[in-house]
Structure 1
Amino acid sequence: MSEHRSKPRHRKGRKALAIGFPLALTATGTLVYGSDLGVFGSGAREASAAASAPDWATATADGFASVNALGQNGTYGGRDGETVTVRTQAELEKYATAAEPYVIVVAGTIDMAPVGKEIKVASDKTIVGSGTAGQIVGGGFFLGTGVHNVIIRNLTIRDSYQGVWNDKEHDFDAIQMDGAHHVWIDHNDLRHMADGLIDVRKDSTNVTVSWNKLSDNNKTFGIGWTDNVTTDITVHHNWFRETEQRNPSTDNAAHAHLYNNYLEDAPGTDVTSAYGNYARGRTKMVLENSYFQGVRNPVTRDSTAALVQRGSVFTGTSGRNESGGGTAFDPKTYYAYTLDKAADVPSLLRSGTGPRGSIGTTPAATKAATTLTVAQDGSGQYRTVQAAVNAVPANNPDRVVIAVKPGTYRETVRIPSNKPHVTLQGTGSSRKDTVIVYGNASGTPKPDGSGTYGTAGSATVAVEADDFQARNLTISNDFDEKANQSLSGHQAVALRTAADKVFLDGVIVTGDQDTLLLDTASKDRLGRVRMTNSYVVGNVDFIFGRATAVIDRSVITLKKRWDGTSGGYVTAPSTPANRKGILIANSAVNGDVADRTFHLGRPWHAGGDASLDPQTTVRDTTLSAAIRSTPWSDMSGFSWKDDRFAEYRNTGPGAGPAGTDRPHLTDAQAADQEIGDWLGGWVPTAS
């Protein structure tokens, strides 16, 4: 920020952090960097392949499947390997059982022989239907002990039924796992099998089941069958229709999080529900915002289970509807998520579950991006990032991916306004492998003697072009405050954006004071920014500016000043009136700092401009004890109470009740402060 403020203080040493995406908390509640890779992950070994891969080929799981555990960092399937298309059982079995990672596209209907055949899937696989065409008929998949990192998406798996409704002779499942971990089952149509549609058995864990339609079955979805209390599972946005039992039945699950599911027992059919969600044994279950229609015994628990339910809708139900047995657990301790309103669930799931035409297919009209490679060792086209930027044609009409190989690039980078549609893509196995770093500060003299850089000019990476993207890399400003106490102006920006439609996904942006400047090209210009699956590190006003910015599913890490003291401000918005400011959602704010020493924000009226109306909203976010009980502060004679600062549904030791010094949004107000309200019709996608 350009105005003078007291000098920030921090220690030079950077404490390493490690976390999966979405968020996972350690036992102490501190979030740290992990080796997960954002959208592209370790499959981005060659950026030319990663950049051209469609979103569905690089998708990652949410929920418990996203949590780092058992040596696996999230669930990303076969994106490290080739994409192959199969049309026969032999082809499918060849690639599904291979030792190497694969993205396997099922391009038509495969009739399994013999009926009931379950292909034994090996680790590191994505099996995905091509649009609505991919079908497995008369069989399914089996994931055995130790199999991990598997995605099964967008398939119809059906019709192994042998004519006996309560069939005890034919264990023909759509998807069965015995001792597997890190599995994501998403957007499938599962129906009419001889036994279960999904069986998660024998200590299988870190499983997410999402956006599936499960129908026309008896023993639908079973979890457990073990004396051990091991399984961590997330079940969300699934439509159970005409399924009699196990919807799901959860036995001895350590953590079962069920939300936004739709259980429907339609009248006048041959199927009558026996029960809906069932917590058995020593299960700990949290059930949220689901919709139960016509279901008998919609929620059932054993006396030994802990079941917390909140926010669900029950219509035409009868029989047992139970909760209790303890507090269970807080899902946001493990990962971030957003609840849909229970009343919206039926319409949302009727239209949104099952295979999608956009998954498993590549639109013919999509033009492949141009890829420029950067490598310090000379193995790429350019040795510096700026040299690759310079090679992008002025006013380029199409996407250009600058693929940066692992290494530390000590340089400043500027993407000028006449070079839109640029992506900076790190190609290492971690976002920490590719680092762009420099150490200018506001008060650093320019080499030509023309003065100092100023805050905006100190940026390591400056983005002035619209439709910019960055992923799987670190952008840092390592200005050494301790060694430069004589300088006036310690603001040191790592990344400055002054453009519209900026998408930051799977990045680390780290510095001290003024780390991330989210600006616009001018006061009257819109500048929308979305950051996901990322980390921002700093201590004083380190997320600031006048952009309309969303920071979602990310970690905001507070750090001490150079002398070891704690204290600072997370945000300093300078939002123009009648525009959205900074929204932090579904994230976590923490760090190795003293309790009650950091404010969430203060209003920056740049240049004393009283017409500005700064805004920060922090919602659905976990706050550590570092956050002050009065989290907002005045700045330069301007009161935060005259601007727009609020919270909504935050959790953690740093959260607090609404009050005069801590405003909370009402539910009605919060409904107008969703991510979509910020982005105004722009839906960023990786490209």
Structure 2
Amino acid sequence: MKIVLAVLASLLAAPGTPARPILSPAEAAPFTAAQYLGYSGTYASPIADPWRPGPIRTPRHPDFVADPSTGIQEAVNAAYRAGGTRRLYIAVRPGTYTGTVFIPSGTPPLTIFGDGPAHKVNLEFTVDATITPAQWAAQVNADGRYTEGDPAWPMFQSCATKTTATAALCATVVWAQSTDLQLKGLTITNTLLDTVDRGTHQALALRTDADRTQLENMRLISRQDTFLANADDVNRIARVSVRHSYIEGDTDFVFGRAAAVFEHDEFRLVSSRKASGGVIFAPNTHPLFPYGFLVTHSRIVADAGYRAAPTGHLGRAWDQGASATGYLPGSTPNGQLVIRDSCLGAGFDTANPWAPAATTARPFVARVDEGRDLNDVNHNRLWEFRNHGPSAG
């Protein structure tokens, strides 16, 4: 028993291995929510700008109310037209809301919250990134919810007029470009789910593009690319806070460029469409910025299929935009992620929990030498610290 414990302790101790790097307490010290959410501005010249999001408060008398007969987009449009700087509130009555919701830049600070348990307030739509922009436009706007002159029309047009072969990251149920957005108590599902093969079928539930986005008590469900925590301006920092939420998928289902903090959340890897090799996180961090994703005090679990055959991966770098060139150190985004103080359930490959990069297939390798640079652009920067559970050792 002593030998077994010693082996496990060595696996969990810094610096770990090139395939499974572990931070020391001193190395882990800067990786806190305050640091990840503490800077705004450009990646080239970050500005100290502490953002300390507290619990999302909801009023008894909201500014707008959405129900299944009126829909949510109309309430968002009304909030946009109201203007001003005061935070506005949209209460969403229990029910099922079918279709997309676009929240444009320029919307006042907005809180959209479920007026009931999250599992009873359902926003859902079926959309696959493999369709053409024209097909996307016809499908998303079949009911005419987006018309010229409406606040969200430019967002719709930006995708409808794309000249690319596919709709790509436009394939989302809820898309937000507004700063200071709060979402609470909603279930958002891209219902494509298991209707397609295990191939590349991006099907986003939620995409956020702007700074200071806050999610609380949310349920985000899809298979590939469930939640895109994005920075629409590739040169500027966008911060995201996610608390007490549930996110489900099978491929890169938490991904993007944002500086994002996940606290007290549950991430669930499912095998119903893809029975092996699934991946949870795919950060796409600017190569010279030290803060991508932080996961803390959370649960990372897998379903029975993965528990029976543990091939799941915690994450991988995205390496977006490098399919033609290959990874270019210092130029290509180099995903940054720390998972700390969290429970890692069964179902994951404990020897190789990190997969090769998504776009370039760059092999995962981390520095384990004394005095290592945690932001060396020639190596991966996906790390663990003080985790527990069946897949932690």
TM-score interval w.r.t. the shorter chain? Answer: 0.5 to 0.7
Partner of residue 178, structure 1:
none
1:424 aligns with 2:112: yes
Amino acid in the other structure paired with 1:569: V
Question: Please, which of 539, 545, 549 is the counterpart of residue 256 of structure 2?
Answer: 545
After TM superposition, give the deviation of residue 376 of structure 1 in Å.
1.9
Partner of residue 306, structure 2:
594
Bigger radius of gyration, 1 or 2? 1
> How is 1:378-527 mapped onto 2 (pairs within 5 angstroms)?
383-394=70-81, 395-428=83-116, 430-444=117-131, 445-448=135-138, 454-482=167-195, 484-485=196-197, 489-527=200-238
After TM superposition, give the deviation of residue 510 of structure 1 in Å.
0.7
Question: Please, which of 371, 375, 388 is the counterpart of residue 67 of structure 2?
Answer: 375
After superposition, give the CA deviation of every residue in 1:230-252 in whole Å (9 maximum; x if it has no partner): xxxxxxxxxxxxxxxxxxxxxxx
Q: What runs of 5+ residues in structure 1 fail to find an aligned partner?
A: 1-340, 342-366, 378-382, 657-687
Partner of residue 131, structure 1:
none
Contact 1:371 1:401 in 2 (8 A): yes
Contact 1:512 1:561 in 2 (8 A): no
After TM superposition, give the deviation of residue 421 of structure 1 in Å.
0.8
Secondary structure in 1 matching 2:223? coil
Question: Please, which of 360, 363, 368 is the counterpart of residue 639 of structure 1?
Answer: 363
Partner of residue 562, structure 1:
273
Contact 1:443 1:488 in 2 (8 A): no
Q: 1:396 to 1:475 in 2, by over 3 A?
A: farther
Task: Looking at secondary structure, tell me which structure has more strand per residue.
Answer: 1
Contact 2:89 2:111 in 1 (8 A): yes
Q: 1:388 to 1:558 in 2, by over 3 A?
A: same
Amino acid in the other structure paired with 2:282: A
User: Could you tell me the TM-score, scaled by structure 2's length?
Assistant: 0.67
Contact 2:136 2:167 in 1 (8 A): no
After TM superposition, give the deviation of residue 420 of structure 1 in Å.
3.5
Q: How far apart, CA to CA, are the structure 1 residues paired with 2:97 and 2:165?
A: 23
After TM superposition, give the deviation of residue 369 of structure 1 in Å.
8.4
Q: 1:653 to 1:588 in 2, by over 3 A?
A: same
1:604 aligns with 2:357: no
After TM superposition, give the deviation of residue 447 of structure 1 in Å.
4.4
Contact 2:257 2:284 in 1 (8 A): yes
Secondary structure in 1 matching 2:168? helix
Contact 1:619 1:650 in 2 (8 A): yes
Contact 1:503 1:531 in 2 (8 A): yes
Q: How far apart, CA to CA, are the structure 2 residues paired with 1:575 and 1:446?
A: 28
Question: Please, which of 325, 329, 334 is the counterpart of residue 613 of structure 1?
Answer: 334
> How is 1:92-491 mapped onto 2 (pairs within 5 angstroms)?
371-377=63-69, 383-394=70-81, 395-428=83-116, 430-444=117-131, 445-448=135-138, 454-482=167-195, 484-485=196-197, 489-491=200-202
Contact 1:441 1:453 in 2 (8 A): no
Secondary structure in 1 matching 2:169? helix
Q: How far apart, CA to CA, are the structure 1 residues paired with 2:79 and 2:300?
A: 37
Contact 2:80 2:108 in 1 (8 A): no
User: Could you tell me the TM-score, scaled by structure 1's length?
Assistant: 0.39
Secondary structure in 2 matching 1:594? helix
Q: What runs of 5+ residues in structure 2 fail to find an aligned partner?
A: 1-28, 30-58, 139-159, 366-378
Contact 1:508 1:534 in 2 (8 A): yes
Q: How far apart, CA to CA, are the structure 2 residues paired with 1:370 and 1:473?
A: 16
Relative contact order higher in (CA < 8 Å, ≥ 6 apart): 2
After TM superposition, give the deviation of residue 578 of structure 1 in Å.
3.0
After TM superposition, give the deviation of residue 614 of structure 1 in Å.
1.0
Contact 1:440 1:479 in 2 (8 A): yes
